[in-house]
Amino acid sequence: MKCNQMNKEIHELLYHYNEDGEEGYDLNEVQLLEKIDIDRVEGLKLLLHNNDQYIAYQAMLILLAWGIPEGFEFLNRFMSEKWAEKEEFEPHRLHGEDNVYDIITNALYISTFNGKDGQELYPYIKQFLNLYGDWFFESHLKHFLLKKDCCPLLKEMEEGMQNALGNKRYYQASQLFPVLVHYDKNKFNEYRQVFTLSINQDNRIEYNVEEAEKIEQKN
């Protein structure tokens, strides 16, 4: 969390959770709350207009996860105004790159358990795949693509993977290898050698090659 000066009310809105006997302060846990308080929703909507863009961004994540329309309206603005190109929102603890679009993908994934249809989210996932070769993505986009029916986005997945390879993001490209095979098993033989030869660039690639092989072998 960034070092922002925020009052207690804002802190409670963004971070406080109390459900099933578990209580604490964590934005991720707030996104996962099953019981959504209407007053809190209204408070979060107001935070979308906060002068601190990071606070507005965090309010957006919660509203997205809860399937609230204003969260999606704000995401449209976030994307069209290219906020992520002007400020760093999710600096990765190890790699030093902004993981913002991957974190947003996780909020979108949670929204599917709060009434959002996966197909409604295709335009956002398509945008993220178009950015895949240039931006850092840890694992949430891969998870979304594997867990939700995203077959209509197969072309964008393959292009995202190829763009990542072109930008020497070898491991990140390999994250989409099992995803491609999940939707089209012919992709295993098509890209197997590419990623096998890339293991010397990053040995973590081997895990994605093995995962793709297991998927290919399933009936």
Percent over 90 (pLDDT), the chain: 92
Q: What is the mean pLDDT of the chain?
A: 94
Long-range contacts made by residues 43-52, C-beta under 8 angstroms, separation at least 24?
43/9, 43/13, 44/13, 44/14, 44/68, 45/70, 47/10, 47/13, 47/14, 48/74, 50/10, 52/4, 52/6
75 within some domain: yes
Residue with tokens 């895990």: 207
Q: Which domain holds residue 13?
A: 1-89
pLDDT in tens, 120-177: 999 999 999 999 999 999 999 999 999 999 999 999 999 999 999 999 999 999 999 9
Structurally, the chain folds into a number of domains equal to 1
- Where does the pLDDT of residue 2 fall: very low under 50, low under 70, confident under 90, or very high at 90 and above? very low
How much is the pLDDT for 95? 66
pTM of the model: 0.94
Which amino acid does the sequence have at 203? N
Higher pLDDT pick, 3 / 204: 204
156 within some domain: no
59 within some domain: yes
114 within some domain: no
- Interhelix angle for 100-111 vs 53-65, to 10°? 30
Higher pLDDT pick, 93 / 65: 65
- Where does the pLDDT of residue 66 fall: very low under 50, low under 70, confident under 90, or very high at 90 and above? very high
How much is the pLDDT for 219? 54
How much is the pLDDT for 141? 98
Long-range contacts made by residues 109-113, C-beta under 8 angstroms, separation at least 24?
109/140, 109/143, 109/144, 109/147, 109/148, 110/31, 110/32, 110/64, 110/65, 111/64, 111/65, 111/66, 111/67, 112/148
67 within some domain: yes
Above 60 in pLDDT, residue 4? no
How much is the pLDDT for 3? 38
Burial (0-12, 13-18, 19+ Cβ within 10 Å), 181 = buried
177 within some domain: no
What phi and psi values does residue 86 have, to the nearest 5 degrees? -110, -20
77 within some domain: yes
Higher pLDDT pick, 124 / 218: 124
Average pLDDT for 101-121: 96
pLDDT in tens, 176-188: 999 999 999 999 9
β-strand partners of 23: 18
